[in-house]
Amino acid sequence: MFGLRVIFTLALLAPSTALAADYVGSNVCRTCHPDIWANFYRNPHYKSLASGQEAPENTGCEGCHGPGQAHVQARGGKASIVAFSQLAPDKVLDTCLRCHGQTLSRANIRRSVHTQEEVVCINCHSVHRSQSPRFLLARRQADLCYGCHSSVRAQFAMPFKHRVNEGVVQCTDCHNPHGAFTPSYTMGSRPRMMEHADVNEEPCLKCHADKRGPFVYEHSAVRLEGCRSCHSPHGSMNARMLRRPTVFTTCLECHNGAGEFGRRASGITHQSSTHNLADPRYQNCTTCHTRIHGSNSDSFFLR
């Protein structure tokens, strides 16, 4: 015990000439937390120490955990230091945003649904025990999201889905978990937390570039209501992630000629009388209307 006191005292004395009164420096912290210190050089936060140019309150352990002198004098304990496990969610957010608030992708974090629901940084990021190669994620990204979004996990278990479980697509390809600007390509506030493509368009177009157009003949549903008009973006029990098991019901639920709807407020184009729905050949609309997402040559999307 005496030895430990000596170490504490020496450690306190050594940096005290250079640091503000309440800050003891990270070298003191390593005395009692060697397991964290041993791998801390792998941590992105180590950059603040390596630079040697940051003020005490912005560097090393105390950059996040606050001044450590009281903690040292109390010989540890969560009451004498900023312990994130004890912090209220808004305080966690404030602490992290001191440094991490200065980027556009997190500009909306304070008004995001996650913050509103008290899901803050440490719910997804593990500063000292991360197992991900980037971003200090506590787990594989999809597992983090599934932890709360169980219904979404169920959708990705369906036979037709984007390959998130397989690791080739990630939730953040389409979503910004730090809060995003309201989707400008549709009405209402849903879907939320979308990461826009081409800075202001629907995120589906990031990968499905051929559907972007512009086309001479746009399928206006795609532009007005988005891909979700016909597809379930996470996963579906139906081929091609359609919302219906067959194409013709997908199409006819809109193309029924009912008044008031459509660009002319006179109904969505009704199918022609030459289409005999009793004949199976007319039940696969996209056999003829192959360019259903938009065409340059034909107003009925035939080529």
Partner 1 sequence: MKKRLPSLLVLAGAACAQPPVAPTNEPTQIARGENIATYNVLQSFELGYRWRTAGGDTDMYRSTVNYGNGVRLLASSLTVQSREGHGRLFDQIVVTTQGLGNDPYQSALLRIEKNRLYRYDLMWRSNDYFNPALTISYGEHLRNTTRHLQDHDFTLFPQSSFRLFLGYSRNTEGGPALSTIQLFDARGDEFPLFANIHREQNEYRLGGEARLLGFRLNLLRGWQDFKEDTPLSLSNPSQGNNPGDLTKLTSLKRAEPYHGTSPYWRVGLFREGKKYWAVNGRFTYVAGRRAFVLDESSAGTNRLGANALRQVLTFGDAERPVLAGNFNINLFPASNVTVSNQTSYNSIRMAGNSYFVQYASGQPGPPILPFQFLGIQTVSNSTNVDVRLRPWIGVHAGYDYDHRRIRSVDGQENFGDPAPGPPGNTPIEQTNQLHAGTLGLRLKPVKPLTINLDAEIGRADRPIYPISDRNYQAFRGRAEYRRKALRLTAYARTDYNTNSISLTSYAARSRQYGVDASWAAAQWFSIDAGYGKLHLYTLGGIDYFANGKDISGESSLYISNVHTASLGARFTVLKRADVYVGYSHVEDAGDGRAASTGARLYSALPAFQAAQTFPLRFLSPQARLSIRVARQVRWNAGYQYYGYDERFATLQDYRAHTGYSSISWSF
Segment 123-142, which members bind partner 1 (CB under 8 A)?
Answer: 126, 129, 131, 133-134, 138-140, 142
**Which amino acid, one-letter code, is at 222?**
V
Residue among 69 and 164 whose Cβ is closer to partner 1: 164
Eight-state DSSP code of residue 181: P
77 binds partner 1 (CB under 8 A): no
* Size of interface with partner 1, in residues (CB under 8 A): 128
281 binds partner 1 (CB under 8 A): yes
CA dist 221 and 224 (Å) reads 5
Using the contact rule CB under 8 A, the part of the chain among 13-21, 23-31, 65-73, 190-198 near partner 1 is 190-198
Write down the least CB distance from residue 228 to partner 1, Å: 10
Token reading at 229: 């008009």
- Taking alpha carbons only, the member of 174, 183, 263, 168 closest to residue 221 is 263
73 binds partner 1 (CB under 8 A): no
CA dist 92 and 86 (Å) reads 9
108 binds partner 1 (CB under 8 A): yes
Residue among 17 and 151 whose Cβ is closer to partner 1: 151
Residue among 16 and 186 whose Cβ is closer to partner 1: 186
Residue among 92 and 138 whose Cβ is closer to partner 1: 138
- Residue of 27, 58, 80, 286 interacting with partner 1 (CB under 8 A): 286
Token reading at 261: 């709807």
3-state secondary structure of 194: strand
Helices (H) and strands (E) in the chain, counts: 13, 4
The residues that bridge with 295 in the sheet, in sequence order, are 217
3-state secondary structure of 225: coil
CA dist 35 and 95 (Å) reads 23
Residue among 12 and 289 whose Cβ is closer to partner 1: 289
Residue among 69 and 142 whose Cβ is closer to partner 1: 142
What sections of 117-262 are H helices per DSSP? 121-124, 141-148, 150-156, 220-224, 247-252
238 binds partner 1 (CB under 8 A): yes
34 binds partner 1 (CB under 8 A): no
CA dist 38 and 8 (Å) reads 19
- Residue of 100, 175, 212, 231 interacting with partner 1 (CB under 8 A): 212
198 binds partner 1 (CB under 8 A): yes
Binding to partner 1, residues 79-98 (CB under 8 A)? 88, 90, 97
- Residue of 70, 191, 225, 233 interacting with partner 1 (CB under 8 A): 225
If residue 291 lies in a helix (H) or strand (E), which one and from where to where? none
Q: Which residues contact 174 (CB under 8 A, 6 or more apart)?
A: 194, 195, 203, 204, 206, 233
199 binds partner 1 (CB under 8 A): yes
Write down the least CB distance from residue 20 to partner 1, Å: 22
- Residue of 84, 87, 257, 269 interacting with partner 1 (CB under 8 A): 257
- Taking alpha carbons only, the member of 109, 111, 139 closest to residue 124 is 139
Write down the least CB distance from residue 196 to partner 1, Å: 8
